[in-house]
A and B are shown apart, each in its own frame.
Chain A
Amino acid sequence: MPPLNHFVIESPDAVGREAYERITGDVLQDLDLIKVIDRLHIYVDPVMPIFIAVGLLRHMPRAIRVSDFANVNPGEKMVVLDIGDETYLAPLLQKLWTIYGKENVDQPDRFTVVLPAGVIEGEELEGLVVADPSETLYKDVIYALQYIAPEGFKVRRQYIRDGKFYYVASEDTLPTDIVETMVVPLFEKMGVEL
Chain B
Amino acid sequence: MTTLVPVTYKGGIYRHDEIMDLIDDLGGYIVQKHVMAQDVVLQSFVPRDDIELIRRVAKPLAGEVIEAPLVGTEIAVVSPSLEIHHLPHIACDIAEYLRRSGAKTNMIGLARGFGKRIANLNDEERDIINEHDLAVYVLGSFEECIKQKFPAIRREIYTPIVLIGAPDREALMRVIDPPVEGYVGSVGRIMHRLKRPEELGKLDELVDEVSRVLDARRDALAKDPLSIFPPRLMTIIEDQIHEVSMLTHPTPVTVQMEGLRVKLPYDPYAPLIRSLEVVDGVTIGDIADVTPSRMRNYILIRIKPFSETRILV
Contact = CB atoms under 8 A, between A and B. Distances in A.
B17 to A, nearest CB: 44
> Secondary structure of the B side of the interface?
loop
B85 A151 contact: yes
B55 interface: no
A152 B115 contact: yes
Contacts of B143: 13, 15-16
A101 to B, nearest CB: 41
B132 interface: no
Interface string B210-254: 000000000000000000000000000000000000000000000
Given A19-B141, A19-B166, A46-B145, A171 B115 contact: yes
Nearest to B192: A26
Contacts of B167: 15
Contacts, number: 72
Interface in A152-194: 152-154, 171-172
A16 B81 contact: no
A147 interface: yes
Nearest to B119: A152
A16 B141 contact: yes
* Size category of the binding interface on chain A: 20 to 34
B65 interface: no
B117 interface: yes
Interface in A100-130: none
A152 to B, nearest CB: 2
Nearest to B144: A46
A174 to B, nearest CB: 15
A20 interface: yes
Nearest to B112: A152
B222 to A, nearest CB: 39
A147, A171, A172: residue with the most chain B Cβ atoms closer than 10 Å? A171
Nearest to A20: B141
Contact of B118 (A13, A26, A46, A171): A171
Nearest to B187: A19
Given A26-B192, A27-B191, A172-B117, 8 more contacts: A15-B141, A15-B166, A16-B166, A22-B190, A150-B140, A150-B145, A151-B81, A151-B114
Interface of B: 80-81, 83-86, 114-119, 140-145, 166-168, 171, 188-192
Interface of A: 13, 15-16, 19-20, 22-23, 26-27, 30, 46-47, 49, 147, 150-154, 171-172
